[in-house]
Amino acid sequence: MTATDPELTALAQGWCALSLLHGRIESHIEQALQAGHDLSVREYSLLDVLSRQHNGTGGHLRMSQVAEAVVLSQSATTRLVSRLEDRGLLSRYLCPTDRRGIYTDVTEAGLALLEQARPTNERTLREALDAAAQNPELAPLVRAVSSLHAVHA
């Protein structure tokens, strides 16, 4: 393959379209969450991931698992957790079975804020996807995202 190979060009264009779609959606949601709830997309994602933990086997996530779930480095995730803990939205405690492990839970205030923000996130995501669907370059990606939702519904 050469640098001008049509297959590579198509792959690069597809990647650019995916990046564009992601950026537009994230920007749109970021603005809405900041304006309505004083939350960033990352903060919302972290609260959402942590709110899904449970007390059963494997129900609580270690910081490395949380970092993977919110697509941040472990150090960035730790800083994000600290910021939300300072706001009273999260609390940390030692793992009862492994004193080296630290778990993080969403506080009642965090759960309340998440429930207030969830409709904003969902509405704004839908708006962003609907707008992107009008762009011929992005429409196939929007259909792919929508089909993923249908599979998991």
Kindly tell me if the per-residue pLDDT of 151 is higher than 90: no
Q: Domain with 57 in it: what CATH number?
A: 1.10.10.10
Kindly tell me if the per-residue pLDDT of 6 is higher than 80: no
Domain assignment of residue 3, yes or no: no
Domain assignment of residue 28, yes or no: yes
Cα 33 to Cα 103: distance, rounded to the nearest angstrom:
26
Domain assignment of residue 19, yes or no: yes
Locate 60 and state its tokens.
Answer: 């609580």
Cα 9 to Cα 21: distance, rounded to the nearest angstrom:
18
Domain assignment of residue 4, yes or no: no
Domain assignment of residue 1, yes or no: no
Q: pLDDT tens for residues 131-142?
A: 999 999 999 999
Domain assignment of residue 2, yes or no: no
Q: How many domains does the chain have?
A: 1
Residue range of the domain that includes 66: 9-152
Structure pTM? 0.87
Locate 144 and state its tokens.
Answer: 């792919």
CA distances for 8 relative to 1, 11, 15, 34, 86, angstroms: 8, 5, 10, 38, 47
Domain assignment of residue 33, yes or no: yes
